[in-house]
Amino acid sequence: MSYRVRRIDPFWMAHPAVIAAAVIGLAVALVGYTRGLGALSIIGGILLGVGVLMATKPAITGVLATLGFFGGVVNFIVLPNAQLGGASLPWKLVSTLFFALLYTVLMEALVLVVAALYNLFAGSMQAGAIEIEIEEAGGDQGSEA
């Protein structure tokens, strides 16, 4: 069997309000960062994160959160940076959780952008789509005792 992937749909809630929340959150965070207003940057970052997490399918969120958690464990607990060598275990765990959260939000945003670009090129420009070859499993169909 052969399938052609013409469109990638990673969106769980593609409601315009969810997308607008993410875009407005990004704008607020950037304005806060450029003007040196930490509180505004944090509020914008939270709004961006909530918008991105609401927009993406929960399975994608789970996979990326797991990868972020394992990456945080390696970075902060197993092979810590020299600057973190004297930190206590609770602070290393907090660092791991923040790393996992940030990784999840950033990678989900990347997945959404890549899917949008793929859909643009594969759909509207009539470019070639990804083709997936799937073979049926042909296990032993003999008599079962």
Q: From CA 10, how far away is CA 21, in angstroms rounded?
A: 18
Stated pTM of the model? 0.68
Tell me: pLDDT of 107 over 60.
yes
Provide the percentage of residues in the chain whose pLDDT is more than 70. Answer: 79
Task: Sort residue 36 into left (φ over 0), alpha (ψ -120 to 50) or beta.
Answer: left
Handedness of CA 19, 23, 26, 31 (dihedral sign): negative
Q: What is the pLDDT of residues 48-86, one digit of tens each?
A: 888 888 888 888 888 999 999 999 999 888 888 777 777
